[in-house]
Amino acid sequence: MTGHTHPPPRASIVAVIAACALIGLPLLGLALRAPWSTILDQISRPEVFRALWLSIECSVAATALSFVIGLPLAVWMASETSRWTNVVRAFVLLPMVLPPVVGGLALLLAFGRNGVFGQYLDAWFGITLPFSTAGVIVAETWVALPFFVLTTESGLRATDTRAADAAATLGAKPWRILTTITLPMIAPSLQAASILAWARALGEFGATITFAGNLESTTRTMPLAVYTALESSPEAAITLSFVLIAIAMAVLFVLRKRWFPTGRTAR
């Protein structure tokens, strides 16, 4: 790979510095104010551990839910066999562009105990979503699903259909083509889609606090814990933030091949 043969305009260096400063300086501030001497004690506090565990539980469940709903949806959207494809796509993408707090409010009005649909969930099945861990999972899925669907759909669209054609001439029905040919081909996209959806679910704040509230060990996930700790003990908030930054770094590391194409990486 030869890369760009034309040098960028010199002035672009200003934008590079500005962007690095905008993102880097706050992180530097966080690092300088971190209570390094007590950080291990802070992390090992039970409420921190509970928040972390709850976050992982809920975000993994939201990712699994996104996978189960999102994969068939992406397959359907990529096939473009219906004229409703674009309508459905617009619908699915809405949570990505909507402020999460609005989403949380909408969820509350729909599935709250007195909500339009929630009252029946409560009356008929005894299911109460708001202010429960299940509510956190619903809120996180609501915001994470579009990331999963978009990434998977673009992966599906980029795949070569020639192998699928060959499979069809060997008598494979659509379901078999999907499971034996297409899914193995888009495995990297599925991995990226899952990680993106998971990272988005992990960081979810607005929809969660509006729909599921901020109840310790039930709905108080890491971002909510950071927000709560900020009022009582800023050191704890900083410590919790560091845990989240470490997770973000790990995400970048896992997805490095996708986002850092270099000359050495075969693409």
Partner 1 sequence: MVPHWTNGTMNLDASIGLQRGTLRIDAQLSAGAGETVALVGPNGAGKTSCLHAIAGLVRLERGHVRLGMRLFDDGSVTNFVRPEDRHVGVVFQDHRLFPAMSVVDNVAYGPRSRGAGKRSARATAHDWLERVGITKRNEKPAALSGGETARVALARALAYEPDMLLLDEPLAAVDASARVALESALRSHLANFEGPRILVAHDIGDALALADRLIVLESGCVIQSGTAEELARRPLSNYVADLAGVNRFVGHCRDSIVTIGNTELTVVSSVIGDVVVTLHPRAVSLFPERPAGSPRNVFELRVLHVESLHDRNRVQLTGSLPMVAEVTTASVEALRLCEGRTIFAAIKATELVVSPH
User: In the complex, which residues of this chain contact partner 1 (CB under 8 A)?
Assistant: 162-163, 165-173, 176, 180-181, 184-185
* Complex with partner 1: residue 10 or 162, whichever CB lies closer: 162
* Complex with partner 1: residue 99 or 184, whichever CB lies closer: 184
CA distance 41 to 236: 10
CA distance 107 to 132: 13
Q: How far is the CB of 87 from partner 1 (least distance, A)?
A: 23
Taking a C-beta distance cutoff of 8 angstroms, is the pair 208, 224 a contact?
yes
* Complex with partner 1: residue 119 or 180, whichever CB lies closer: 180
Record the tokens describing residue 66, joined without a space.
Answer: 């996104």
Q: How far is the CB of 64 from partner 1 (least distance, A)?
A: 24
Q: How far is the CB of 154 from partner 1 (least distance, A)?
A: 20
Closest CA to 221 of 87, 40, 83, 59: 59
CA distance 132 to 50: 15
* Complex with partner 1: residue 74 or 186, whichever CB lies closer: 186
Opening angle at CA 123, ends 120 and 127, nearest 5: 85
Q: How far is the CB of 171 from partner 1 (least distance, A)?
A: 3
